[in-house]
Amino acid sequence: MPLYEYRCEACAQQFEVVQRVSDRAEDTSCPHCHARKATRLMSSFASQIVGSHKPGFKEEKAYNMLNHRMDKFSKLPPMWGKRLTPSPDLFSGTSAPAPSTNDGETQS
């Protein structure tokens, strides 16, 4: 059963009570003045994680694997090769200009 911290509104004393989770804070009586005006406080707690089972560990591992794979895939070439943009002449019915045959000579 968990340990809860309370503060009594009647005498302003703080106290701790070991109770079930289902017990209501309004039903808790102060051990100092026996009034039923206790409010439950938010308190810190300690926990110990044993092994590799941490909250979110499997999800974090899965996301790391996904990011690693996506990095590898981004470095690969496209599956079907690079898509070329068709020239406007291709669909107009006109023939493409013939390539020049300068054999490396430059004109001035």
Reported as a single tens digit per residue, the pLDDT across 46-56 is: 777 676 666 67
User: What is the chain's Cα-based Rg?
Assistant: 37
Give the least confident one: 9-13, 46-50, 60-64, 69-73. Answer: 46-50
Residue 100: inside a domain, yes or no? no
Strand partners, 37: none
Q: How many domains does the chain have?
A: 1
For residue 63, what is the DSSP state?
H
Residue 26: inside a domain, yes or no? yes
* pLDDT tens figures, 26-40: 889 999 998 988 889
85: tokens are 């943009």
Residue 104, Cα to own-chain centre: how many angstroms?
A: 59
Q: Which residue segment(s) compose the domain that 9 sits in?
A: 3-41
Residue 20: inside a domain, yes or no? yes
3-state secondary structure of 4: strand
